[in-house]
């Protein structure tokens, strides 16, 4: 069984459907979809090394999580139901002060396992000890864009250290030469990074041709504080520092105004909507999806870290996004299921530069098979509706990334070792921090 995982070879996927159409999919052995059609077995039998019988499963592009802090899986359930600032300052930061590279490795392994089990094939990550996160992603077999969370708090010495840490990570990821793993720069937010730091990040991203990952306008306080201290809204500061580009993913964006939504469209900024985290931490306003959509912004979905979510399930996130948007704008026609599913898949792939999330010949073979024999998938009048509103990530049976099988019929190799390692790391971290 083990030898079907961890390598790429020609695979024929039979007995599946795309929408309501029965189809077969041939993966060409180079990490791409070779062909899709109703009957490929006769033509492709000689080349095929392994056949997956989908048993009527629905095929979707893999989900793409455009904002997370993967290793925060170790903090899952550690501090809930608190005010954001109290939660960060008194619970999360004191624990994070004791984090080691080994913790980040195990936390990211756990995150990747959870993502694979719920149908995610790529993610956009910001945290610390990211060389260790890269090692975990490499072993897990999924795709990721990784950045060091850059925080200088206006201190020149801190800034220098953050610049060096960012350069080191970018060089390390380049040296891995792994097409599944890319570097980005990660200025944490306009309220934690000085203008000099923001400009440095923008310059490095442009020179290296890599992405920018940043938190923008999560809370109203960020906006009012910025106006009080600087006379400018955060988005104006980011734009002046060159942060708003077509390689930028801006997380949260709850408090953008209509003009800022139009500016994001002009600059080609991708937005990551994090509905579960925003509701859990009570940001008091939903990301303005109707304005962003009208402006033509590419809106994607993220989970945020596992201490503010507390899972990495993108189908659950798609449902929550649709519900939050309808409820917030008092309009049930806002964010229909088809748009929510596209946000969770193809929009995210475009934002991270991992293809365009389409199921067609030549596209990256990042695909998931969803069980159609379960209660949540019965009846299936409209497959997209079942996926967004009825099922969640536990309906995903098989996951393929870059043409490699990562989960087959719910079986992920090495799962128990990952669960044990992550549980041990989490317990030791809490013990070291002297907290319970």
**Residue 281 or 412 with smaller CB distance to Zn ion:** 281
Of 78-86, 263-271, 279-287, 301-309, the window that binds Zn ion (rule: CB under 5 A) is: 301-309
Window 304-363: residues binding Zn ion (CB under 5 A): 304
The three-state secondary structure class of 89 is: helix
**Residue 351 or 384 with smaller CB distance to Zn ion:** 351
- The torsion angles phi and psi of 50, rounded to 5 degrees, stand at -150, 135
Question: Position of tokens 């139901």?
Answer: 81
**Residue 57 or 74 with smaller CB distance to Zn ion:** 74
Q: How far is the CB of 112 from Zn ion (least distance, A)?
A: 18
**Residue 274 or 346 with smaller CB distance to Zn ion:** 274
CB-facing half-sphere around the CA of 419: CA atoms within 13 A:
7
**Residue 126 or 140 with smaller CB distance to Zn ion:** 126
d(CA 86, CA 33) in angstroms, rounded, equals 48
Q: How far is the CB of 291 from Zn ion (least distance, A)?
A: 22
Q: Which of 100, 107, 101 is nearest to 131 (CA)?
A: 101
**Residue 15 or 311 with smaller CB distance to Zn ion:** 311
Window 378-397: residues binding Zn ion (CB under 5 A): none
Q: How far is the CB of 211 from Zn ion (least distance, A)?
A: 15
Of 153-161, 297-305, 369-377, 413-421, the window that binds Zn ion (rule: CB under 5 A) is: 297-305
**Residue 96 or 304 with smaller CB distance to Zn ion:** 304
**Residue 132 or 304 with smaller CB distance to Zn ion:** 304
Contacts of 26 (CB under 8 A, 6+ apart): 10, 11, 12, 13, 33, 34, 35, 36, 40, 44, 47, 48
Binding mask 249-288 for Zn ion (x = CB under 5 A): ----------------------------------------
Q: How far is the CB of 274 from Zn ion (least distance, A)?
A: 7
The residue with its CB nearest to Zn ion is: 304
**Residue 26 or 87 with smaller CB distance to Zn ion:** 87
- Rg, Å, the chain Cα set: 21
Of 49-57, 299-307, 330-338, 409-417, the window that binds Zn ion (rule: CB under 5 A) is: 299-307
Residue 69 in tokens: 């802090």
Q: How far is the CB of 353 from Zn ion (least distance, A)?
A: 20
Q: How far is the CB of 189 from Zn ion (least distance, A)?
A: 9
Of 11-19, 98-106, 279-287, 300-308, the window that binds Zn ion (rule: CB under 5 A) is: 300-308
CA angle 235, 189, 116 (to 5 degrees): 115
Q: Is the dihedral of CA 383, 385, 390, 391 positive or negative?
A: positive
Neighbours of 84 (CB within 10 A): 16
Residue 332 in tokens: 């049930």
The DSSP code for 398 is E
The three-state secondary structure class of 87 is: helix
Q: How many helices (H) and strands (E) does the chain have?
A: 17, 15
Q: How far is the CB of 305 from Zn ion (least distance, A)?
A: 6
d(CA 192, CA 214) in angstroms, rounded, equals 11
Q: Which of 249, 246, 289 is nearest to 268 (CA)?
A: 246
Q: How far is the CB of 84 from Zn ion (least distance, A)?
A: 11
- How many residues bind Zn ion (CB under 5 A)? The answer is 1
The three-state secondary structure class of 22 is: strand
d(CA 406, CA 412) in angstroms, rounded, equals 6
Q: How far is the CB of 304 from Zn ion (least distance, A)?
A: 5
Of 42-50, 281-289, 298-306, 410-418, the window that binds Zn ion (rule: CB under 5 A) is: 298-306
Rule CB under 5 A: which residues touch Zn ion?
304
């Amino acid at each position: 069984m083990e030898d079907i995982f961890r390598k790429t070879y020609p695979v024929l996927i039979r007995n599946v459907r795309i929408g309501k159409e029965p189809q077969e999919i041939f993966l060409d052995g180079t990490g791409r979809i070779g062909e899709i059609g109703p009957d490929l077995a006769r033509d492709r039998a000689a080349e095929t090394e392994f056949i997956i019988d989908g048993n009527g499963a629905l095929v979707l592009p893999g989900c793409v999580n455009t904002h997370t802090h993967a290793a925060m899986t170790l903090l899952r359930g550690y501090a809930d139901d608190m005010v954001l600032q109290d939660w960060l300052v008194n619970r999360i930061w004191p624990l994070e002060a004791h984090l080691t590279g080994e913790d980040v490795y195990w936390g990211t392994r756990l995150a990747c396992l959870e993502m694979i089990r719920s149908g995610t094939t790529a993610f956009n990550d910001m945290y610390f000890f990211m060389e260790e996160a890269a090692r975990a992603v490499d072993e897990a077999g999924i795709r990721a864009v990784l950045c060091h969370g850059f925080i200088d708090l206006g201190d020149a010495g801190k800034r220098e250290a953050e610049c060096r840490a960012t350069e080191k990570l970018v060089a390390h990821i380049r040296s891995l030469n792994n097409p599944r793993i890319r570097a980005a720069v990660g200025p944490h937010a306009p309220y934690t990074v000085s203008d000099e730091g923001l400009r440095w990040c923008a310059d490095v991203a442009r020179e290296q041709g890599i992405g920018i990952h940043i938190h923008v306008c999560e809370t109203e306080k960020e906006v009012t504080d910025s106006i009080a201290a600087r006379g400018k809204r955060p988005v104006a500061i980011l734009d002046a520092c060159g942060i708003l580009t077509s390689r930028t993913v801006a997380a949260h964006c709850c408090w953008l105004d209509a003009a800022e939504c139009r500016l994001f469209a002009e600059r080609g900024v991708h937005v990551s909507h994090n509905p579960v985290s925003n509701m859990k931490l009570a940001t008091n306003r939903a990301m303005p999806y109707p304005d962003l959509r009208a402006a033509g912004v590419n809106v994607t979905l993220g989970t945020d870290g596992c201490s503010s979510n507390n899972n990495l399930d993108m189908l659950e996130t798609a449902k929550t996004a649709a519900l939050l948007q309808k409820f917030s704008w008092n309009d049930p026609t806002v964010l229909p299921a088809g748009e929510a599913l596209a946000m969770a898949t193809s929009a995210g792939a475009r934002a991270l530069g991992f293809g365009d999330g389409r199921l067609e010949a030549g596209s990256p073979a990042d695909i998931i098979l969803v069980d159609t024999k379960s209660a949540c998938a019965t009846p299936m009048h409209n497959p997209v509706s079942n996926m967004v509103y009825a099922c969640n990530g536990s309906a995903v049976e098989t996951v393929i990334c870059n043409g490699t099988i990562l989960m087959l019929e719910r079986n992920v190799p090495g799962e128990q070792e990952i669960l044990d390692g992550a549980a041990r790391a989490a317990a030791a971290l809490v013990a070291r921090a002297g907290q319970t």
